[in-house]
A and B are shown apart, each in its own frame.
Chain A
Amino acid sequence: GNSVTQMEGPVTLSEEAFLTINCTYTATGYPSLFWYVQYPGEGLQLLLKATKADDKGSNKGFEATYRKETTSFHLEKGSVQVSDSAVYFCALARSSGSARQLTFGSGTQLTVLP
């Protein structure tokens, strides 16, 4: 079946540090890949997405590249801010069947210290 594996958290960084959160997936066909972010006390919101191999999604300084050869979609940001403190979820939408469902990873808590 489909699954998403994220690096274990929590992750604590100093402001302006480089961020990488690893995400790998298992799926048949060509899934779409997403990163969602959850700020404290809120619901999830879409951060970025990529719909085919080698696509790069980007938003708010975050980037992730859809790597089919390594089945990965790692999230990166060159210089994090305190306001980036949140939980980050990697997710996929599979390419057939009940295609509108999302499968989520377990989430990675990020804390950025001033």
Chain B
Amino acid sequence: DAEITQSPRHKITETGRQVTLACHQTWNHNNMFWYRQDLGHGLRLIHYSYGVQDTNKGEVSDGYSVSRSNTEDLPLTLESAASSQTSVYFCASSESGSRHNEQFFGPGTRLTVL
């Protein structure tokens, strides 16, 4: 069965370190998204991609970057981790072609920045 996976599931790091969160999907979806989930804010869009070599900034992109070298993967990098980036991070993917298309979510990565 097709799926979307994230790794690691839990990560503790220190302020100033570079951190990369992995996202891998086997749906063969063109669209991929990164969100962060914080209490009282729901999910907020960090970055998104509509295909290989395409990346776009979302609502809360400062301090984050992504790259899309193939269809399956969209890694999220925190260049210099800050305590404000402690959060739960979700990756999602969807088919292209329609705004009605369901987004499929990974299980999340809980990141703690000390």
Chain A interface residues toward B at CB < 8 A = 4, 6, 31-32, 34, 36, 41-46, 49, 51, 89, 93-95, 98-102, 104-107
Contact of A107 among B42, B94, B108 (CB under 8 A): B42
Q: A60 CB to closest chain B CB, in angstroms?
A: 15
The size bracket of the interface on B is 20 to 34
Choose the segment among B14-22, B66-74, B95-103 that binds chain A (4+ C-beta atoms closer than 8 Å). B95-103
Instruction: Enumerate chain B residues within 8 angstroms of A49, measured Cβ to Cβ.
Output: 100, 102
A101→B96 CA distance, assembly (Å)? 11
Q: B12 CB to closest chain A CB, in angstroms?
A: 18
**Do residues B103 and A102 form an inter-chain contact, with CB atoms below 8 A?**
yes
Instruction: Enumerate chain B residues within 8 angstroms of A36, measured Cβ to Cβ.
Output: 105
**Do residues A42 and B96 form an inter-chain contact, with CB atoms below 8 A?**
no
- With A43-B107, A93-B99 known to touch, is A100 a contact of B43 (CB < 8 Å)? no
A9→B88 CA distance, assembly (Å)? 20
Q: A30 CB to closest chain B CB, in angstroms?
A: 10
Contact of A94 among B40, B56, B99, B103 (CB under 8 A): B99
- With A100-B99, A100-B101 known to touch, is A105 a contact of B42 (CB < 8 Å)? yes
**Do residues B100 and A93 form an inter-chain contact, with CB atoms below 8 A?**
yes
**Do residues B40 and A98 form an inter-chain contact, with CB atoms below 8 A?**
no
**Do residues A106 and B41 form an inter-chain contact, with CB atoms below 8 A?**
yes
Instruction: Enumerate chain A residues within 8 angstroms of B105, measured Cβ to Cβ.
Output: 36, 43-45
Q: A2 CB to closest chain B CB, in angstroms?
A: 11
- With A101-B45, A101-B58, A104-B42 known to touch, is A46 a contact of B99 (CB < 8 Å)? no
Instruction: Enumerate chain A residues within 8 angstroms of B27, measured Cβ to Cβ.
Output: none
Q: Count chain A CB atoms within 10 A of each CB in B42, B92, B102 and give the residue with the most.
A: B42
Instruction: Enumerate chain B residues within 8 angstroms of A41, measured Cβ to Cβ.
Output: 107
B9 to chain A: closest residue by CB? A41
A44→B103 CA distance, assembly (Å)? 9
Instruction: Enumerate chain B residues within 8 angstroms of A107, measured Cβ to Cβ.
Output: 42
Instruction: Enumerate chain A residues within 8 angstroms of B44, measured Cβ to Cβ.
Output: 104
Q: B83 CB to closest chain A CB, in angstroms?
A: 22
**Do residues B45 and A100 form an inter-chain contact, with CB atoms below 8 A?**
no
Q: B104 CB to closest chain A CB, in angstroms?
A: 8
